[in-house]
């Protein structure tokens, strides 16, 4: 058991967790505990002079270009804004900030609005449920730009669904059944291990979190060690972008077998208000795929992305989850629940597979949150931009 832990910990170097990581603590209405440990404030990177010269050249060159090949208005305005910042002596890039306590990590926009919260410990809501439903190592809440909460947690119908979470269903390890999704079976557990973060020179914020998959709450021997690399752009638009890369690595010399099943993988549970029924008897929440399918005809289709949306506190908002072409068996099948506000990209719908030692299972997802109704063209454009990088 000790050797397994040592091998697992090597995936996430202990040296990366040094006290040199500085955390900005900002006051907010999210009710953080007063005993939270405060840490020092990280400084913002400055724009290199070469970049400023390049921006100046592009901007003034564009003014003299033929109209048909000029940059789009948003790009021009960005260049102009950066130039004005330079003239005013302010060369610092706008960037997100982070607030960390013993319980969670909250990421804010450059304007101080919350984007998401990652849970290091089970939430207070967990105390209202049987112990087997408690979990850490997932995202909740996820917010829209106006501050609407888009995710749900510990729903009455399915208390094992937690915000944005990764969980395999029917699986086995060393010939014994494992189950990380349906927690009531007590055949597996997922828990937070550690985290680190960094502010890039571009102004983007990178948060890395590590979770352990074990055979149950009574076991400390890991089967899989999962790393989430969450990237938040320096400047958010009218919608929020969150890029997440999951890397799952075997913690022993034995594989995890993922058996054929109709759901399991990277999932999202939506706001509980989307599960309520409207006057016509259908759920208030809606889903639409990149191919224009809905929850009635899109289940187990293979879309590039899925939008889940509907009213929250009387205002329309939603979240898009995008699937990357680098992902295993892309385009992956998607489980769209016919009534409840949840869906999951499930690569085992038609065939089983294994996560083998020495061959990490890597999957990439982009989350786009918005207010209003989904704009297919805007979403598709964001997906195309994302896969170029």
- The neighbour count for residue 148, using CB atoms within 10 Å, is 22
What is the pLDDT at residue 345?
99
Q: What is the DSSP string of 215-227?
A: SSTT---EEEEEE
The pLDDT, as a whole number, for residue 92 is 57
Q: What is the CATH number of domain 2-23+95-388?
A: 2.70.98
Distance, in Å, from the CA atom of 117 to the CA atom of 115, rounded to the nearest integer, reads: 7
| Structure confidence at residue 326 (pLDDT) | 98
What pLDDT does 260 receive? 98
Domain spans of the chain, in order of start: 2-23+95-388, 49-87
For 34, 110, 156, 161, 177, the CA distances from 272, given in Å and listed in that order, are: 29, 29, 9, 12, 31
In tens digits, the chain (389 residues) has pLDDT values of 433 444 444 344 333 333 333 333 333 332 333 334 444 334 344 445 555 555 555 545 554 544 333 344 444 445 545 555 545 545 556 789 999 999 999 999 999 999 999 999 998 887 888 888 889 999 999 999 999 999 999 877 877 889 999 999 999 999 999 999 998 999 999 999 999 999 999 999 999 999 999 998 888 899 999 999 999 998 887 999 999 999 999 999 999 999 999 999 999 999 999 999 888 888 999 999 999 999 999 999 999 999 999 999 999 999 999 999 999 999 999 999 999 999 999 999 999 999 999 999 999 999 999 999 999 999 999 999 999 97
Asked if 359 contacts 348 with a C-beta cutoff of 8 angstroms, the reply is no
Q: What is the Cα Rg of the chain in Å?
A: 22
| DSSP letter string, 5-74 | HHHHHTTS-GGGG-TT--------TT---TTPPP-PPPPPPBPPHHHHHHHHHHHHHHHTS-GGGSPPHH
| Residues 168, 180 contacting (CB under 8 angstroms) | yes
Handedness of CA 56, 59, 62, 68 (dihedral sign): positive
DSSP letters for 316-354: EEEEEEEE-TTSTTSSPPEEE-SSSSEEEE-TTSS--EE
∠ CA 157-316-141, nearest 5°, is 50
Distance CA 201, CA 360 (A): 28
State the pLDDT at residue 1: 42
Q: Are 22 and 198 in contact (CB under 8 A)?
A: no
The pLDDT value recorded for residue 133 is: 87
- Closest among 282, 264, 259, 245 to 335, alpha carbons compared: 264
Alpha-carbon separation of residue 93 from 52, 96, 163 (angstroms): 12, 10, 31
Is the previous residue joined to 350 through a cis bond, with omega within 30 degrees of 0? no
Helices 73-87 and 49-63, packing angle to 10 deg: 130
Q: Which residues contact 135 (CB under 8 A, 6 or more apart)?
A: 122, 126, 162, 165, 183, 189, 190, 191
Evaluate whether 177 touches 171 at the Cβ level (below 8 Å).
yes
């Amino acid at each position: 058991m000790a050797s397994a832990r040592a091998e697992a910990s090597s995936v996430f170097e202990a040296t990366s967790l040094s006290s040199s990581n500085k955390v900005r603590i900002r006051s907010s209405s999210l009710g953080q505990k007063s005993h939270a440990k405060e840490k020092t404030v990280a400084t913002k990177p400055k724009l290199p002079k070469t970049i400023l010269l390049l921006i100046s050249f592009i901007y003034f060159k564009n003014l003299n270009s033929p109209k048909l090949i000029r940059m789009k208005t948003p790009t021009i305005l960005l260049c102009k804004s950066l130039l004005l910042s330079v003239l005013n002596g302010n060369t610092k890039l706008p960037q997100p900030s982070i607030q960390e306590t013993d319980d969670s990590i909250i990421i804010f926009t450059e304007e101080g609005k919350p984007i998401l919260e990652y849970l290091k410990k089970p939430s207070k809501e967990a105390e209202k449920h049987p112990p087997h439903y408690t979990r850490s190592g997932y995202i909740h809440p996820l917010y829209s730009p106006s501050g609407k909460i888009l995710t749900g947690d510990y729903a009455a119908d399915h208390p094992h669904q937690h915000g944005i979470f990764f969980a395999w269903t029917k699986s086995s390890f060393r010939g014994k059944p494992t189950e990380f999704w349906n927690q009531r079976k007590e055949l597996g557990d997922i828990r937070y291990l550690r985290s680190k973060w960094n502010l890039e020179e571009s102004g983007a914020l990178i948060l890395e979190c590590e979770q352990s998959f074990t055979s149950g709450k009574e076991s400390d021997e890991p089967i899989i060690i999962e790393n989430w690399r969450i990237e938040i752009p320096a400047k958010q638009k009218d919608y929020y972008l969150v890029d997440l890369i999951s890397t799952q690595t075997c913690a022993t010399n034995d594989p995890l077998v993922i058996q054929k099943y109709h759901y399991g993988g990277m999932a999202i549970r939506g706001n509980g208000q989307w599960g309520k029924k409207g006057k016509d008897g259908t759920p208030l929440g809606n889903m639409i795929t990149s191919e224009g399918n809905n929850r009635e005809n899109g289940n187990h289709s293979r879309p590039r992305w899925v939008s889940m949306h509907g009213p929250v506190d009387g205002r329309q908002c939603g979240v898009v989850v995008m699937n990357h072409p680098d992902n295993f068996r892309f385009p992956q099948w998607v489980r769209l629940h016919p009534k409840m506000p949840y869906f999951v990209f499930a690569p085992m719908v038609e065939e089983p597979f294994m996560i083998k030692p020495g061959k990490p299972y890597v999957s990439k997802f982009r989350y786009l949150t918005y207010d209003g109704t989904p704009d297919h063209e805007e979403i598709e454009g964001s997906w195309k931009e994302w896969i170029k990088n």
